[in-house]
C-alpha cells in the first residue's frame, strides 16, 4: 500500500535521493563516531575530538554515496515504471541489480563478500574476502548482489503486508434477522397483529 502513497515519478527521484543522503549521514555519523572514538589516542578529550573529526570528515562522504545510490535506483525504477506501465516488486529488484551494475562499472576489484554477506556465507566458504578482476565481472557480481538484496527486501515487505492484512480481514456478515427486514408491500409489519381482525 505504501508504494502507491509515494511521490509521482519525477519527484520520487529527489525524494529518495534526499532520504538516502539523510540515512547515510545519520548511520555513517554514528558508525564514524564510534570508530573515531576507538582509534583516537588515549584520553577522553582526544577520543571525543577524534570522534568529532571522524564524523565531520566521513559522514558527508557516506551520505553522498548513499544519495548517489538512492538517486540512481529511483531513476532506474521510474524508467522501468514508464517502460513496463506498472509498478510491482520486479521493478525494484531489477532497479537494484542495474544500480549495482552501473556503480561497479569503474571498479578494478570486486569483493563480493561484504561484512553483512560474509555472515551468510561463512558456513559455506573458507575464505571470507577475496578479490576478482573488475570490469564486466564486477558488474555482474554487483548486479547479482543488488538484485538479491532487493529481492529479500521486497519479499519481507510482501510477507509483512500479507500478515498484517490477515489481522484486518472483514468478519463474515451475520445472517439478517427476518424480523428486522422491511415489510413487503401489502403485507403487515412483522411483530404487529393484523388490524383487520378488529374491524
Q: What is the full per-residue pLDDT of the chain (199 aa) written as tens digits? A: 455 567 788 888 999 899 999 999 999 999 999 999 888 888 889 999 999 999 999 999 999 999 999 999 999 999 999 999 888 889 889 999 999 999 888 776 555 544 444 444 444 444 444 455 567 888 888 889 989 998 999 999 889 888 888 777 776 666 566 666 666 666 655 555 555 555 5
Q: What is the pLDDT of residue 113?
A: 46
pLDDT exceeding 90 applies to what percent of the chain? 35
48-53, long-range: CB within 8 Å, 24+ apart, which pairs? none
- CA 47 to chain CA centroid, Å, is 35
Residue 20 CB partners (closer than 8 Å, separation 6+): 66, 67, 69, 70, 71
DSSP state of 34: H
The C-alpha atoms of residue 8 and residue 122 are separated, in whole angstroms, by 42
According to the model, what pLDDT value does residue 119 have?
Answer: 44
CA pair distance 26, 20, nearest whole angstrom: 10
Angle between the 136-167 and 89-103 helix axes, to the nearest 10 degrees?
150
Rounded to whole angstroms, the Cα distance separating 92 from 84 reads 12
Cell matching residue 5: 502513497
Residue 57 corresponds to which cell in the numbers above? 570528515
Alpha carbon distances (Å) from 56 to 4, 42, 66, 103:
37, 20, 16, 25
Classify 196 in phi/psi space as left (phi over 0), alpha (psi -120 to 50) or beta: alpha
Amino acid at each position: 500500500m505504501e508504494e502507491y502513497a509515494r511521490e509521482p515519478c519525477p519527484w520520487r527521484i529527489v525524494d529518495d535521493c534526499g532520504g538516502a543522503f539523510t540515512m547515510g549521514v545519520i548511520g555513517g555519523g554514528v558508525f564514524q563516531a564510534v570508530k573515531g572514538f576507538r582509534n583516537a589516542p588515549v584520553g577522553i578529550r582526544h577520543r571525543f575530538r577524534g570522534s568529532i573529526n571522524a564524523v565531520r570528515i566521513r559522514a558527508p562522504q557516506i551520505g553522498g554515496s548513499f544519495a548517489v545510490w538512492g538517486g540512481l535506483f529511483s531513476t532506474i525504477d521510474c524508467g522501468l515504471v514508464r517502460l513496463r506501465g506498472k509498478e510491482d516488486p520486479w521493478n525494484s529488484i531489477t532497479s537494484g541489480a542495474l544500480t549495482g551494475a552501473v556503480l561497479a562499472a569503474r571498479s578494478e576489484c570486486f569483493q563480493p563478500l561484504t561484512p553483512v554477506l560474509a555472515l551468510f556465507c561463512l558456513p559455506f566458504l573458507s575464505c571470507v574476502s577475496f578479490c576478482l578482476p573488475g570490469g564486466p565481472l564486477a558488474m555482474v557480481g554487483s548486479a547479482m548482489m543488488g538484485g538479491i538484496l532487493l529481492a529479500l527486501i521486497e519479499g519481507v515487505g510482501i510477507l509483512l503486508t500479507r500478515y498484517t492484512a490477515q489481522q484486518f480481514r472483514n468478519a463474515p456478515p451475520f445472517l439478517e434477522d427476518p424480523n428486522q427486514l422491511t415489510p413487503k408491500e401489502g403485507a403487515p409489519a412483522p411483530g404487529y397483529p393484523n388490524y383487520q381482525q378488529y374491524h
